[in-house]
Every structure is written in C-alpha cells, then in structure tokens.
Amino acid sequence: MSEAAILTEGLSKSFGPQTAVSNLNLQIQPGAVYGFLGRNGAGKTTTMRMLLGLVRPTKGRMRVLGLDPWLEMELMRILQRVAFVPQRKQLYGWATPAELVRMNKAYFPRWSDEAAGGLAQRLEIPMKTAFKKLSIGNQSKVALLLALAQGAEVLILDEPTAGLDPLMVDEILRTLIEDHVSQGRTIFVSSHHLGEVEQICDWVGILEEGRLLLEARLEEVRQEYRLVIVSGENLPDAPSADVVSATTDGRFRRYVLAREADGFAAGLRSQGASILEISPIGLRELFLHLVRKEAPCTPGNAGAKAAPVSSFS
Amino acid sequence: MYAWKCWRESRARFFFLLIMFTVTALLFTLEPGLEVQNGWWHFDRSEYIHNPLPTAHVVFSMILSVLWCSGFLSAVFLGATAPGSEIEPGTIEYLWTRPRTRTSVTWTHWAVCVAEMAIVAVVPLYLAAALLGTLTRYWDFPYLFIAPWMMVIVGLPVLGLTTLMTALRRSASGGLIYTSGVVLVYAILRQIIIVPLHLNPPTLFTGPLVWLVSNNQLPYDASAFPWGSLWRAVFLAAAFPLAAEYLLKRAEV
C-alpha cells in the first residue's frame, strides 16, 4: 500500500474546556475523494486547519503526504503540494482576480496558466473587478480558481461550493471530476451538501462533536447499509456490532446496519419483534440517523473506530 | 511576490506621507524668499544670495523642527500593514497556506517598510537641500544629508513596535492604536520623571534625533553624539520584529 496522502492518529484539539476534535484517526490514500461530513461545529474545519499548520493539535500525530505540518520546513513542502480552499474565502479586497492569479502563481512551480484561464472562463469570473466588489459567489469562485490551478497533489476544500448557484456547483463538480479525480489527485472535502458528496466522493467520514462516528466507502453504504424498522417490546440498543445507529420513534425502533441486515432482522424476529421494513439507506438518511441528538450512537457502532483502509482505491 | 503585495497594500499611505513631507520641506525652503506685495505672493532670492549660510541654517532648523517626526509617523502608518493585521480580516488563512515561512513574511514586510520609510525621509530633505543649494549657491549641508538617515534609524524601533502590536492585537487598527498608546504612556511617564523629580534620564532611542534638532547652533558638537541611544535604537529595531515573528510563528488562526 502506498503512503497515505493524509494520516491522523489520535488527533485531538481543545480550545480551553471545549473539545473541537477528539482522538481522530484518518487514513486517506492517494487518489481518494473523501467527503468529510458533520454538523456545524463538528470539528471539520479545525481538522483541516491542523493539517495545514494553522492550528496546533493538543494531542496526536498527523502527516500530509508523509510530512509533518508542525515542522516548518516540512510544512513548506506540504504547502507547495497541497491546495486549500478555506471556509471563509477572504482574499485581499483591493486586488482583482487577475492580480491574485499573478500573485499566486509566483508561489507554485506547478501553477497552470491554462487551467486558470479555462476556469476563469467556465466560472464566468470578472477578472478585472476588485475582490471586495465581487458577489460572495464570485469570491468563492476566485478562491476555487486559485486552488484548482495550483497543480496540487492534494486538495483540501472546506465547503467549496457554499454561496454558489446550482449551475456553478455543477461546473465546479465537473471540473473536480474531469481535471482532478481523473488524474488521481486526492481530494479531502467538507460539505453540507450531501448530494454533491455523493456525486464525487468514494469515501465518507461523519464527524460529530469532534469524534469520527463513521468512516465508510460510499459504494459500501449504497450496497450494504440497510435501515431496519422494528416494532416490539424491550428491543435492545445495540444487539450487534454491525449496528451503526439505533433510534426510537414512538413504538418503533430504527436500526442502521452496516452489513448482514437479514440475519440481524431474523434474530430480532426470534425475540418476538415485528420487522416492518428493511430498506437501503441513502447518505442523507445515514447522516441524519448518526448525528441526531436524540439518537446517540451506540458503543457498538462502526464509527467508534476508523474503518480499515486497506481497500482504498 | 509578497513584497509586491506589501507595496500594493501600503502604497497609498506611502504616497500620502511622501507628498505631505515633500510639500512641507519645499515650503519651508522657499519661506525666507516669500513675501506679499500688493496682495500677491512674490519670491525674492536676495536673502539666499546675500546671507547663504544663516539662511540655509534657518531653513534647515525649520524643516527639522517639523519633519523630525516623519520617521515615527511613517513607521506607525506603514507598519500597521504588518502580517498580524491580516488575522482579524481573515486573509491570513490565504497568506499562511502559501509556501512561505512566517519568518520570511514578517521580514519581507519589514524590509519593504524600511525602504518606504527611507524614501519618505530622504526625498523631502534631499529635494530641500538641492533647492537650497541652487538658491544660495552654497552646497555644504552635511547635517541635512544625514538627518533623514537619523529619522529612519529612530523610526525603526517604532516600526518594530507597530509590527509587534499588530501581531498582538491581530488587526491594523489595533496595532496602530496600541502603538500610539505605548508611545504616549512612555512620554507621559518620562514627563512625570523629568518635571516633578527634576531628573533628566537619557532618551531611550531618540537621542540621535534630539541631538540633531537641538544642535541648531554652528559649529555642531559632534563629540556629544548620543551613541548609547543609537545602539538602543538598533537593539529595539531588531528586538521588536523578532518578538513579532515569535508570536506569529506560534499564532493559531
């Protein structure tokens, strides 16, 4: 197996008494497109900032392209090979996008003027208007252009499509797939738009209150994850290690299973429960089941430990 | 490229300061020859030709009495664009995710500011000297030629202090206000020591400038030059930006 593009081991970050990230284990292989999901304040942005040396971890270890972001010289080598689009896409208000492009290209030896020109055209960016005079959507596009034309091996994108209209979102996703995914570049993207994540990602990680609740291949979620709705008395919280989450909705109990749903249902049936439904589960439902406050994850859930990554593509 | 960004961001302040000080220096240079006749301004060169040395000396004293603070003002206004000022507006995430060390960013900004401060100090005084030389046909103004460099040297600790304050306060306005506050508190404390206690402690780092301004009688007393104050200025000029660099290297955003 090749060296992980992004690796964290027991990574934690606290701001005073508040824990932002807790014992996070990630191993993202080169070429993977990893969707990092979570509610606001779940710790996604803090994790990304730690990977880029903007925030110091309280505990744990991390590597980006095999290099340690907390060693200054190694960080410089990381930053030459990693592109970042921050959540707050704030650039110099006085500068036009054309000036920002000129300024940015001087930092990156693999910068592509051709890609920058193409993106400016496709995303309809007014290149001669001062950044502060651009709409929020256009400001986001400029930040994306600067990152995508950088020729980076790893893209770290923190809500890259926030503020963009559906047409532009589609354009960005197509660009990511055509120019980056197809070239085997690694993308680590956080987003609240689960549809976008489903469109481009092959892996998802769901974070809640700084803890990784689940890490799975998206294909696996589509093919094997099932929602089992059960009715009965004294139903167990987590009768199997395959249960990702269990929630109560009135008289019904909903289980999300990572695998072996039929066997699990048979087991419950033998205890006197009625199985009302066994159905495939989408990413959106899975996400909602995992992060709903009234439905805490059970100790047996698959996300308590990072999933094995040997099957990364 | 970061140097270009620093220049681009500070050039409006730079041109404002340069024009303001140049106009002031040239007006003071022409002042002995200006007079009002029949409600109109007229320029009479005779004073420059008949009394070249005293006129040059008066002009030099007038210029210095106003422009002595140009180094400080340039330092505060140009220094407020230091890297720490980018934290609050949020552009720091962009800056710190470029492959440039925080050390290089801090000192590149410092170098650009020093170059701008030097131009702001040198151009008005050298233009005034050139004009004065042309009018008086007397060209021996050694102190007018070293004055801008003194202004720059004593301005450097203030530039460093502003760089440090922007890193501490994480904004340009915070840096500006806190630098002004520190300078003001220092001046008040100094006055408290000087006036009621009748003590006269040596200046911390402004000695060369005080020497230059107070030496307005010929011949100049070069032996009384405050070397201690000069070395303190050099020390503080290095210490403040180093402290700012240390803070920025440890800063989380």
What mean pLDDT is reported for chain B? 91
- What average pLDDT does this structure show over B194-217? 80
What value, to the nearest 5°, has the Cα angle with vertex A293 and ends A287 and A296? 80
Cα–Cα distance for residue pair A143/A84, rounded to 1 Å = 9
Cα–Cα distance for residue pair A261/A276, rounded to 1 Å = 13
Cis ω before B219 (30° cut-off from 0): yes
Among the residue ranges A33-47, A212-226, A288-302, B27-41, the one predicted with the least confidence is A288-302
Could you tell me the pLDDT band of residue B196, with boundaries at 50, 70 and 90? confident
Are the beta carbons of B91 and A91 separated by less than 8 Å? Answer: yes
DSSP tag of A67: B
- Chain B closest CA to A175's CA: distance in Å? 22
The SS3 call for residue B58 is helix
Nearest to B5 among A54, A80, A103 (CB): A103
- pLDDT for the residue A293: 56
Could you tell me the pLDDT band of residue B219, with boundaries at 50, 70 and 90? low
Answer whether A88's CB lies under 8 Å from B131's CB. Answer: no
> What would the pLDDT profile of A238-290 be if each residue is shown by its tens digit?
667 788 888 887 778 889 999 888 888 888 888 888 899 999 999 999 999 88
Nearest to B101 among A52, A76, A80 (CB): A76
> What separation in angstroms does the CA of B141 have from each of A121, B106, B124?
60, 36, 14
Answer whether residue A202 shows pLDDT above 90. yes
Chain centroid to Cα A24, Å, comes to: 13
What mean pLDDT is reported for chain A? 88
Q: At what angle do helices A136-148 and A113-122 cross, to 10 degrees?
A: 150
**Which residue's structure tokens are 């980006």?**
A64
Query: Which residues, at least 6 apart from A294, have a Cβ–Cβ distance to it below 8 Å?
Result: A247
Number of neighbouring beta carbons within 10 Å of residue A16:
5
Are the beta carbons of B94 and A52 separated by less than 8 Å? Answer: no
Nearest to B9 among A55, A88, A94 (CB): A94
Answer whether residue A294 shows pLDDT above 70. no
DSSP tag of B86: G
Number of neighbouring beta carbons within 10 Å of residue A39:
16
- pLDDT for the residue A1: 52
> What would the pLDDT profile of B15-29 be if each residue is shown by its tens digit?
999 999 999 999 999
Answer whether residue B214 shows pLDDT above 80. no
Q: Which residue of A has its CA nearest to B102?
A: A72
Are the beta carbons of A92 and B9 separated by less than 8 Å? Answer: yes
Could you tell me the pLDDT band of residue A11, with boundaries at 50, 70 and 90? very high
pTM here?
0.87
Whole-complex ipTM:
0.85
Q: At what angle do helices B142-169 and B207-214 cross, to 10 degrees?
A: 150
> What would the pLDDT profile of A126-169 be if each residue is shown by its tens digit?
999 999 999 999 999 999 999 999 999 999 999 999 888 999 89
Are the beta carbons of B8 and A95 separated by less than 8 Å? Answer: yes
Answer whether residue B245 shows pLDDT above 80. yes
- pLDDT for the residue A273: 86
How many residue pairs from chains A and B have C-beta atoms closer than 8 A?
A: 57
CB half-sphere exposure, A39, CA atoms < 13 A: 11
Could you tell me the pLDDT band of residue A297, with boundaries at 50, 70 and 90? very low
Could you tell me the pLDDT band of residue B85, with boundaries at 50, 70 and 90? very high
Number of neighbouring beta carbons within 10 Å of residue A262:
13
User: Taking chain B, what is the end-to-end CA distance rounded to the nearest angstrom?
Assistant: 23
CA-wise closest residue to A211 among A4, A5, A8: A8
More confident residue, B158 or B219: B158
H or E segment and range at residue A47: helix A44-51
**Residues in chain B closer than 8 A to A86 (CB atoms):** 93-94, 97
**Residues in chain B closer than 8 A to A102 (CB atoms):** 1
**Residues in chain A closer than 8 A to B94 (CB atoms):** 86, 90-92
* Count of residues making up chain A: 313
Are the beta carbons of B5 and A91 separated by less than 8 Å? Answer: no
H or E segment and range at residue A215: strand A211-217
Cα–Cα distance for residue pair B178/B186, rounded to 1 Å = 12
User: Taking chain A, what is the end-to-end CA distance rounded to the nearest angstrom?
Assistant: 10
- What average pLDDT does this structure show over B207-227? 75
Are the beta carbons of A107 and B98 separated by less than 8 Å? Answer: yes
Q: Which of B94, B101, B106 to mutate to test the interface with A (most CBs of A within 10 A)?
A: B94
> What would the pLDDT profile of A33-81 be if each residue is shown by its tens digit?
999 999 999 999 999 999 999 999 999 999 999 999 999 999 999 999 9
**Residues in chain A closer than 8 A to B106 (CB atoms):** none
Answer whether residue A309 shows pLDDT above 60. no
Phi then psi for residue A165, to 5 deg, are: -75, 160
Q: Which of A88, A92, A108 to mutate to test the interface with B (most CBs of B within 10 A)?
A: A92
Number of neighbouring beta carbons within 10 Å of residue B250:
10
CA-wise closest residue to B123 among B17, B228, B218, B37: B17
Is A109 near chain B, with CB under 8 Å?
no
- What average pLDDT does this structure show over A203-228? 93
